[in-house]
Structure 1
Amino acid sequence: MKRPVTLFTGQWADLPFETMLKKAKAFGYDGVELGCWGDHMEIDKADQAYCDAKRKVLKKHQLKLFTISTHLVGQAVCDRPDQRHKAILPDYIWGDGDPEGVRQRAAEEIIQTGRAAKRLGIDTVVGFTGSSIWHLLYSFPAVSEEMIAEGYEDFRKRWKPILDEYQKLGVKYALEVHPTEIAFDIETAKRALDAVDYHPAFGFNYDPSHLGYQGVDYVKFIYEFSDRIFHVHMKDVTWNDVPGTSGVFGGHLPFGDNRRFWNFRSVGRGRIDFERIIRALNDIGYTGPLSVEWEDSGMDREMGAMESCEFCKRIDFSPSGQAFDSVMKND
């Protein structure tokens, strides 16, 4: 059975919830991944009645819900909050802006998000973790191993209690492996798992676009963490083969600027080999949704969302239940 194709609504939060659902259905999606900003999913309001009302509207539009996503608040749990965070956080999380207070309120909100997921009848929350050591990525002035270890200890201290609550709820947290997070490639993902003692509630939202332009083997990632792929984002990216004027770090150029070394693309229009990804997902037995996170600064988003849905449904296929040459053998 082919996997459901869903649309992540985070990039559509300017639209009211029901308007977004109408569009997702018209684009051909089987369901949605609701972003926890705008009015798509409001965690501070998410009691049982609120969650039941959301499910009723989803059913009305014949759309399924598989996960909710809390990237913005999750980012603040381990980060050093500043004015960038104020711009993306709810006022009740930002409060007076005291960094430690912001981190603690964000952590409590992540727990509340897990409870909301339970009320919605789903078992996966996707999001970020933030990182207290991302700014140490380039080791000059020299960064000691002790400083990096302190960063993973900070991650453990802040996320282990959250994950314990998720385990009680029967809900999993899927970190989107991504620059600025505690895990941004294969090696750091291993270290993040080790830091939380391979907690059963902690795994990954697989998004190949964040790995490809870094030069990370994005198919190997699937096999490396075969039991920790809790959710999948379908997002494409392109990068240059010839020297340009900016590098992997972006040159302080905005997304979409053609001087960048890399840019996100509508699914199927970049350099990610989705055929290999589907085969790898089949190999590890992943049967969850393929969720389109549409980000392409140079393309109309409605056209992009529609063609991305069509692409995902076309590229996906079920694994074979038998070897192709089995009918040629004599008993």
Structure 2
Amino acid sequence: MQLGYVTAILPELSLEEHLAFAAEVGYDCLEVMCWPPGKAERRYAGVTHIDISRLDEAGIEEIVDLQKKYGVSISSLGYYPNPLAADEAEAKVYTDHILALIDAAAALSINCVTTFVGRDKNRTIEEQWPRFLATWRPIVSYAEEKGVSIGIENCPMRFTKDEWPGGTNLAISPAVWERMWADIPNANWGLNYDPSHFILQHMDYTLPFRDYPERMIHVHAKDARIDVDKRNRHGVFSHPNLWHTPKIPGLGDVDWGRFVGYLRETGYDGAICVEVEDRTFEGDTELRKASLRQSYRHLRQFVG
């Protein structure tokens, strides 16, 4: 396994600065954010460390050489929009960029893209299933032709008023995943699995990779803490931000030794990338770097 981090937490750094910092700390890899350049409203969105719209042969060679220079690889190209947004013109912008990202991943020999499947928050899963299939069947097939794997993150995306009531990501549970894979059975797509989202949903966060080891494309290392007293006061049907707090690894409710132990037993040998969404570390650049150093120290004892 390779220990890495998601570059979104340090948008002000260049790709080379990220590779240099990762090498300094000891990280093996990076999940590199590849949003189209421009401002985004959502936290951690709109971050561009590789602008794939400007990626030519010289740019590809430079990125390959930088990885060799610092001894740090790129595990995936990341982009997390809503490809099933209610506005179909908006959704097409997102799916077009995912297709371009697949081309870039193939050209860079990274061969992995990490993203969301999306969801229309105002419609049931059943109501939007035909559109899900119409959107994702061609994307997955195109990626398969290019030799690229797609890892879908399992985040519920129900944290802001703009994401209620249903959230903006379908792929939140084993029941949905199994239906996805039954209807689109291609072997090149599966999960970018994040255990913190199962902490939120009060589910066993070790079961997904034990039950679906062949669908583990990529893994996020993010923790979460449940404030039981607040949950008891507000209830599980209240807004999760009232009783749920994203944390860096080791400061929440995930037992990382147990997590990695089970993950190893499945034969997983891919990337585990720290994703920092812990507000207590967002004050400035040095504090965010400190969060990545602290996460590294905690996880390296399990990810040798």
Short-chain TM bin: 0.7 to 0.9
**Which SS does the other structure have where 1:298 is aligned?**
helix
**Which SS does the other structure have where 2:32 is aligned?**
strand
- The change in CA–CA distance for 1:33 and 1:129 in structure 2 (over 3 A counts) is same
Calculate percent identity across the aligned residue pairs.
Answer: 26
Q: Is the CA contact 1:208–1:218 (under 8 Å) kept in the aligned structure 2?
A: yes
User: For the residues of structure 1 that align with 2:175 and 2:222, how far apart are their CA atoms?
Assistant: 22
- Per-residue deviation, 1:247: 4.8
The residue aligned with 2:229 is 242
User: For the residues of structure 2 that align with 1:119 and 1:35, how far apart are their CA atoms?
Assistant: 16
Q: Which of 274, 277, 288 in structure 1 is aligned with 2:256?
A: 274
| Aligned positions of 1:319-330 closer than 5 A | none
Displaced runs of 4 or more, over 3 A: 243-253
- Per-residue deviation, 1:190: 1.7
- Per-residue deviation, 1:250: 6.2
User: For the residues of structure 2 that align with 1:18 and 1:249, how far apart are their CA atoms?
Assistant: 44
Q: Which of 258, 275, 287 in structure 1 is aligned with 2:269?
A: 287
The question of 1:168 aligning with 2:149 is answered: no
User: For the residues of structure 2 that align with 1:21 and 1:175, how far apart are their CA atoms?
Assistant: 24
Q: Is the CA contact 1:8–1:35 (under 8 Å) kept in the aligned structure 2?
A: yes
Note the residue ranges of structure 1 that are not aligned, 5 or more in a row. Answer: 81-98, 137-146, 254-259, 318-331
The residue aligned with 2:76 is 67
- TM-score, reference length from structure 2: 0.84
- The change in CA–CA distance for 1:243 and 1:307 in structure 2 (over 3 A counts) is closer
Q: Which amino acid aligns with 1:212?
A: I
The question of 1:124 aligning with 2:73 is answered: no
**Which SS does the other structure have where 1:182 is aligned?**
coil
Q: Which of 201, 211, 215 in structure 1 is aligned with 2:198?
A: 211
Deviations 1:82-111 (A, max 9, x none): xxxxxxxxxxxxxxxxx2222223212111
- TM-score, reference length from structure 1: 0.78
Q: Which of 226, 230, 241 in structure 1 is aligned with 2:217?
A: 230
Q: Is the CA contact 2:143–2:149 (under 8 Å) kept in the aligned structure 1?
A: yes
- Per-residue deviation, 1:47: 2.9
- The change in CA–CA distance for 1:201 and 1:7 in structure 2 (over 3 A counts) is same
Deviations 1:16-64 (A, max 9, x none): 2222222222222112111113441112112333222122222222211
- The change in CA–CA distance for 1:50 and 1:280 in structure 2 (over 3 A counts) is same
Q: Is the CA contact 2:198–2:204 (under 8 Å) kept in the aligned structure 1?
A: yes
**Which SS does the other structure have where 1:68 is aligned?**
strand
User: For the residues of structure 2 that align with 1:160 and 1:202, how far apart are their CA atoms?
Assistant: 11
User: For the residues of structure 1 that align with 2:122 and 2:195, how far apart are their CA atoms?
Assistant: 23
User: For the residues of structure 2 that align with 1:191 and 1:163, how far apart are their CA atoms?
Assistant: 15
User: For the residues of structure 2 that align with 1:289 and 1:235, how far apart are their CA atoms?
Assistant: 13
- Per-residue deviation, 1:289: 1.4
Note the residue ranges of structure 2 that are not aligned, 5 or more in a row. Answer: 36-46, 157-167, 282-286
| Aligned positions of 1:63-102 closer than 5 A | 63-71=72-80, 75-80=81-86, 99-102=87-90
Q: Is the CA contact 1:185–1:216 (under 8 Å) kept in the aligned structure 2?
A: no
Q: Is the CA contact 1:182–1:192 (under 8 Å) kept in the aligned structure 2?
A: no
Deviations 1:200-220 (A, max 9, x none): 222001110111121121111
Deviations 1:254-275 (A, max 9, x none): xxxxxx2111111111101112
The question of 1:221 aligning with 2:208 is answered: yes
Q: Which of 112, 133, 151 in structure 2 is aligned with 1:156?
A: 133
The residue aligned with 1:199 is 186
Deviations 1:172-197 (A, max 9, x none): 1100011031111222222222232x
- The change in CA–CA distance for 1:207 and 1:40 in structure 2 (over 3 A counts) is same
User: For the residues of structure 1 that align with 2:237 and 2:19, how far apart are their CA atoms?
Assistant: 35
Q: Is the CA contact 2:223–2:252 (under 8 Å) kept in the aligned structure 1?
A: yes
